[in-house]
């Protein structure tokens, strides 16, 4: 059971990392002036975040149903990755909006 939980938590870490990378790539793409591609990258970011959030939600539901796990450092690490990815996505959206407004 513990190995299964580690696999699930690592899925959350990987999905969150993918989301963060897509958000930062979107900003770089917008800086080059390709706003359509930047918006597509943000949509890809959202998909990765949805996957990570789904894992998180499933774990929360299990805990509410009395099937909770002992919180380990790996889970804290996964939560940190998810929150970081959400913050980077929000800031990336704002930066891309500013870049688009400044476009000549």
CATH code of the domain containing 49: 1.20.58.80
Tokens 């889970």 correspond to 75
Share of the chain above pLDDT 70, in %: 97
First to last CA, the chain: 57
* Catalytic residue status for 53: no
How many Å apart are CA 41 and CA 22, to the nearest integer? 6
Domain count, the chain: 1
Share of the chain above pLDDT 90, in %: 70
* Range of the structural domain that residue 46 is part of: 2-102
Active-site entry in 11, 77, 93, 95: 77
DSSP string, 46-87: HHHHHHHHHHHHHHHHHHHTT------HHHHHHHHHHHHHHH
How many Å apart are CA 86 and CA 83, to the nearest integer? 5
How many Å apart are CA 2 and CA 20, to the nearest integer? 27
Each residue's pLDDT tens digit, 69-101? 777 888 899 999 999 999 999 999 999 999 999
Please, which pLDDT band fits residue 51 given cuts at 50, 70 and 90? very high
Looking at residue 2, its pLDDT comes to: 64
């Amino acid at each position: 059971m513990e190995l299964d939980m580690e696999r699930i938590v690592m899925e959350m870490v990987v999905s969150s990392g993918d989301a963060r990378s897509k958000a930062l790539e979107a900003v770089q793409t917008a800086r080059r002036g390709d706003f359509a591609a930047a918006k597509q990258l943000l949509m890809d970011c959202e998909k990765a975040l949805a996957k990570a959030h789904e894992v998180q939600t499933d774990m929360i539901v299990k805990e509410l149903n009395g099937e909770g796990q002992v919180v380990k450092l790996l889970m804290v690490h996964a939560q940190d990755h998810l929150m970081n990815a959400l913050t980077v996505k929000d800031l990336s959206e704002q930066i891309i909006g500013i870049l688009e407004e400044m476009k000549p």
